[in-house]
Structure 1
Amino acid sequence: MQRPATVSLLKNDLTKTRLRFAILALASLMSFGSYFVYDNPSALQTQLQDDLNIGTFEFNLFYSVYSFPNIILPILGGYFIDVIGNRIGALLFSILIVIGQGLFAFGVMINSYNIALIGRGVFGLGGESLNVSSNYYMTNWFSGNELAMAMGTTVSVSRLGSVLNDNIEPVIVNSTGSLSLGLWIGFLFCIFSLICVIIANILDGKKDKNLGIISKKHLPDSEKFRFHDLKYFGFSFWCLCLNCLVVYIDVSCFNNIASNYFQERFGYNSVESGSIISITYIVAAFLCPVFGMIVDKFGQRVQFMIFSTVSITLVHTAFLLTPESHKPIYPIFYMVFLGLGYSIYASVMWASIPYLIKPKVAGTAFGMATSIQNLGLGVGPLLVGYIQENTNKDKGYYWVSFFFVMIGVSGIITCILIYVNDVKTGGVLRSKNPEKVRESFIGINETEKTDLGNSYSAIN
């Protein structure tokens, strides 16, 4: 009696059709705009400080008003997704990004620092939470043998936004003489991403209707998110979050200070430094989908994470041991290997989260990981700045490099802890078929399985 119904569900399941690749493209592009505008201030630092008549502290507030609230906001955004639905969440977060970038561009246009700062704050209300929504789409449309590829593709396309910003914003401003024009172009990219969210929501709603999935508010209690479900966030999940914190300090926080680092230690000018910095994300843009497909085929997720954290740590060790000189070629190769390590890590880490938790808490899990990541991105720069200002060797950057090496070592240790615990709990992260192992590991019942388009999506 049950078999025909199951066959019918599979026949109507759009996640088994090529439409899932349209969702992949849309989910990747829905974060493109936010990644493009996030580093607008960094690409235009000198011009912003001159036009708005602000110092370094006021300039850094453009990032602080974004990062520190996002230590908490992604958790709330993930909870919102689990309770209300991902489509409503993605739409709301995208609208906040558009409003925030519009206020930022308008504030700069009229030389109002306060309005520009408010705009960055509003932008921060949606920026990281939209990443949670994008990841949630991937777990809802892609299964274990394609999930890492899908996650890697979203990282790849999003990081192209960062690369594009680094390379075209200074050119636009220098060629037109208008600082706000480049920011308004970023505003248009955000609107484009909002349109992608709307289209993705329509297709996702069609998928749920085909499967007969009901709105979250009509779900039985057993399938709704409840706080006591957080007990399924086990040891491996928390170690993975801690690992995410330290690895992103080693990559993102280093990239934040890399321009001055290369100028002070190796004699590059600002344009050359900017080009070298972009190498990391250019490499990631091309390799993330490739490594995602490799991981989907062979499994061994923890081993890939260990390799990536070791690679990143070795890069910082190389920077530590490289003496000051005038425009050496070595840093270029170092940044290529940093991009290689980051590509592997970003492809594997985010795609590992769904296999460590129950599907109905996926939004909260991604939000928790993103919040912990932002804790590192908020505290890391403060520690780096303190070390650089209070030490003298290599203009303070020797001990900064040492700090990054130690952070990398802690990342290796947390990876080893994840590996040991994974061995003890069935090897879900090492498996080629992690969904099957997960079912026995955390006790997922039939109604919670994701491969039939399960009930943690919402039509509204």
Structure 2
Amino acid sequence: MKVEDWKWRYLILVFDCSMTFGCYFNIDIISAVQADIQGQDTGTCANISSNATCCEGCLGLGPYRYNQLYTAYSWMNALFALPGGYMIDRIGNRVSAVIVTMLATIGSVLFAVSTMDGIRGTATMFPLMICGRLFIGAGSGSSLIVQDRVVAFWFKDRISFVYGFVIFALRVGNVSNYLLTANIAKLYGIRWAFWMGTLACVIGVFSAVSLAVVDYYGTKQLDDDCKISMKALPVSRKDIRDFPATYWMICLVIMSYYSSYLPFVGNGTKYIQDRYGYSKTTSSYFTGAIYDTSVVISPLIGSLLGAIDCHGIVLIAVCVLTLPVFPLLSYCHDIHPLILTIWIGVSYTFAGVCLWPCIIIVVPKKAIGTAIGIATFIQGLSIGLTNLVTGKLLGFTEDPDKDSLLHKYQKMFWLLLGMLLFSTLCSVVLNVFDLTKGRLLNRRLAKKNSKELKSFVDEKSPLMTDAPSIQSYVSIDASNGELIPGIQ
């Protein structure tokens, strides 16, 4: 039986998607309660205005150390993804899924413990929080690699469509965080909000175990050729050296695009609270609208991109359409922040559904884990550095002067706009490379070109020629004239 014929593969997709729920719940869990983490304990919430910095139970880290928590996550995500992707390619999806979800669970436990009575407010608290974020970073980045490998093996015939549901599942984790965490912290205290994050990670572990069981059973149903093609194979340095130039440009686009929007997500709740005067809970909802939007539209975008089949061109359009957002956030205060966060959510969802499948398209199947690991490594280093610079720009402590604080935020937005401009430039160069190397990322254009070429070959060309063959880039299915992407 072929992979496409096994109907239960969609159960694998369900477990594959839910496996990362806990990881993505915890990535931005600190953003949902940013004011409580940054601000100093003022003793009581009574008679405090809606946009007050903090009240009872706050941790007093300040903007710089708060952003260091994001930096720790991003850099460990990067450092662990590089060897992690290679090892996942070596040991396979099943064992890897369980290991990486357990790492994230350990991290969430450490982070929750750091806010418990007896540790909160001591010299041990912040190092323990950093350790927790390091473990979450190690598990989250690697879980995404496992997730993408499962999709590549079981749904290679429907990559764009299925990846829309993958993005949907990731955003459900983000949305759940922004809907629940601030409210739990308000009702029961910040420590119980972080223990909710641990519970979400435990759900991911159970999903990973279920994925391993169903994957094992499903593989036994396949014919011998499919089993051989799905086995984990060693990846050599030559395989990495042979990655096409388009792959490295995709890495740069991922690096710069995510570095432009994720630091805003990390600091957006506090910015909306400071600039517009909304409460902590409402500000968290508005920032979470980025992921609410993604949850709603990601399956539709996956289907749309599958129909368009021009990932490269769509990527340019997404980058260009995202450019006005940060200047509007910084200078046009009459525009409601919810409109702008929804705008970011739409553009980000298009970028997410578009970018990661591009890696699956352009690299050999056996090296997908390694390729995604390298991309995650580059992405994490850049995001961590951007968060570190953002923390420096916003200061070590809360600025009581509103005008001075908003000026610091404007500097942050200029930094993020610069990253987005670089992403736009890289997406243009990516398409130039792709158009000269087989049009794997713009296959609708390639199909049209192949039909014209087939007609030219049939009617005009001599039987023998010394000209270079188009097969140096792709092969042509003679039955319908369509290009079959191949790895050079």
TM range (shorter): 0.7 to 0.9
Q: Give the letter aligned to residue 151 of structure 2.
A: M
Structure 1, gaps ≥5 residues long: 1-11, 444-460
Whether 1:188 aligns to 2:202 is no
Structure with bigger gyration radius: 2
CA deviations over 1:192-236 (Å, ceiling 9, x no partner): 1111111111222223223336689998xxx53212111222211
- 1:439 and 1:336 map into 2 onto residues whose CA distance is 44
Two-structure CA RMSD over aligned residues (Å):
2.9
Residue 69 of structure 2 aligns to a residue whose secondary structure is helix
Residue 156 of structure 2 aligns to a residue whose secondary structure is coil
Q: Give the letter aligned to residue 141 of structure 1.
A: W
Whether 1:163 aligns to 2:161 is no
Whether 1:385 aligns to 2:396 is no
Please list, as runs of the form range in 1=range in 2, the aligned pairs for 1:103-252 lying within 5 A after superposition: 103-112=110-119, 113=125, 114-144=127-157, 146-176=158-188, 178-211=189-222, 212=224, 224-252=234-262
Quickly say closer, same or farther: Cα 1:151–1:264, change in 2 above 3 A.
same
Normalising to structure 1: TM-score of the pair?
0.84
Indicate conservation of the 8 Å contact 2:439/2:445, yes or no: no
Deviation at 1:139, TM superposition (A): 0.8
Deviation at 1:270, TM superposition (A): 2.7
Report the equivalent of 2:15. Answer: 26
- 1:304 and 1:310 map into 2 onto residues whose CA distance is 10
Residue 428 of structure 1 aligns to a residue whose secondary structure is coil
Quickly say closer, same or farther: Cα 1:268–1:82, change in 2 above 3 A.
same
Quickly say closer, same or farther: Cα 1:23–1:253, change in 2 above 3 A.
same
Structure 2, gaps ≥5 residues long: 42-56, 120-124, 397-402, 451-469, 476-488
Please list, as runs of the form range in 1=range in 2, the aligned pairs for 1:96-107 lying within 5 A after superposition: 96-107=103-114
Deviation at 1:16, TM superposition (A): 3.1
Indicate conservation of the 8 Å contact 2:183/2:281, yes or no: no
Deviation at 1:141, TM superposition (A): 1.1
Aligned pairs, how many? 422
Higher helix share: 1
Report the equivalent of 1:457. Answer: none
Whether 1:259 aligns to 2:265 is no
CA deviations over 1:151-180 (Å, ceiling 9, x no partner): 22112111111111112122123223x433
Quickly say closer, same or farther: Cα 1:319–1:181, change in 2 above 3 A.
closer
Q: Give the letter aligned to residue 270 of structure 2.
A: N
- 2:303 and 2:230 map into 1 onto residues whose CA distance is 36
Please list, as runs of the form range in 1=range in 2, the aligned pairs for 1:282-321 lying within 5 A after superposition: 282-321=292-331
Please list, as runs of the form range in 1=range in 2, the aligned pairs for 1:335-374 lying within 5 A after superposition: 335-374=341-380
Q: Give the letter aligned to residue 281 of structure 1.
A: Y
- 2:35 and 2:273 map into 1 onto residues whose CA distance is 15
Quickly say closer, same or farther: Cα 1:262–1:218, change in 2 above 3 A.
closer
Indicate conservation of the 8 Å contact 2:80/2:142, yes or no: yes
Residue 233 of structure 1 aligns to a residue whose secondary structure is coil
- 2:230 and 2:216 map into 1 onto residues whose CA distance is 15
Indicate conservation of the 8 Å contact 1:37/1:186, yes or no: yes
Please list, as runs of the form range in 1=range in 2, the aligned pairs for 1:34-73 lying within 5 A after superposition: 34-48=23-37, 50=41, 51=57, 53-56=59-62, 57-73=64-80
Q: Give the letter aligned to residue 236 of structure 1.
A: T
Whether 1:95 aligns to 2:107 is no
Residue 108 of structure 1 aligns to a residue whose secondary structure is coil
CA deviations over 1:13-53 (Å, ceiling 9, x no partner): 24433322222221111001111122222323444565585
- 1:238 and 1:380 map into 2 onto residues whose CA distance is 20
The more displaced of 414-423 and 388-397 is 388-397
* Sequence identity (%): 24
Indicate conservation of the 8 Å contact 1:357/1:442, yes or no: no
Report the equivalent of 2:407. Answer: 395
Normalising to structure 2: TM-score of the pair?
0.79
Indicate conservation of the 8 Å contact 1:93/1:126, yes or no: yes
Whether 1:330 aligns to 2:336 is yes
Q: Give the letter aligned to residue 379 of structure 2.
A: Q
